Amino acid sequence: MLEAFSLTGKVAVVTGGAQGLGRAMAFSLAGAGAKIVIADINEEKARATAEELRQAGFAAEAYQVDVAQRSGVDSLVSHVVERYGRLDVVVNSAGLNRRYPMAEITEADYDTIMDVNLKGTFNVCQAAGRAMLNLGIRGSLINISSMSSLIINRRRPVGVYCAAKAGVNGLTRAFAAEWAPHGIRVNAIAPGYFLTPLNEPWMQTEQGRDALEQTPMGRFADPKEIGPTAVYLASDASSFMTGHVLVLDGGYTIW
């Protein structure tokens, strides 16, 4: 049964893979047998993570890319196909947030949130999906959404982020519907609060403590806890799943 989770011989690109949830998923995918391309806007951190993977005995490389810029995304996909001859798995983990009330957020911050989280997801899905279609590969695209795509977080000024991630869910279903006949699956993971380097300072604030109190499991998640979910969606273990948004939030959206 465990063979269904194997990614041996597969090539996986993880955008935003240099740190946080992307890094955790990259390590899990590598552990399942995939060759990893860490694609991140921060080249230095991407190279460091790729080196950590190699030191652990895995095949990995780094590639600098801004997912909001289509030319860079196209170059990334072309590089992977030329080097490996295939592209099997893509995890769209590149993302960011700006915390401003709806009445105060600037046009520039709105555009940044949408460009990276929503347009970036579209750019990578379309470019990678086209490559899979051309190669005849039955691949898996995994978009990192958020539990905030399903709700508006209480007492947190992140409304535009919620809207962007809701758009990610819509893109996930749209790509999944069109590409299902070709064997390309498109799903999303909607994480709750994870103890990533970017989140930890905020989690020590009053808002962070408030968020913890609203989580039924009574704790924040370790980034390692998202890795097996990515392996499941990337592998044949989820071969009949597409267009699904899998919530991983410690029960936050129950209430």
CB 254 within 8 A of CB 27: no
Task: Give burial (CB, 10 Å; 0-12/13-18/19+) of 38.
Answer: buried
Q: Give every CB contact of residue 76 below 8 A, 6+ residues apart in sequence.
A: 13, 37, 39, 63, 65, 127
- 161 catalytic? Reply is yes
Catalytic residue among 100, 110, 161, 252: 161
Going through 16-169 in order, the beta strands assigned E by DSSP cover 35-40, 60-64, 89-92, 140-144
CB 7 within 8 A of CB 231: yes
Half-sphere exposure of 82 (CA within 13 A, CB side): 6
Catalytic residues: 161
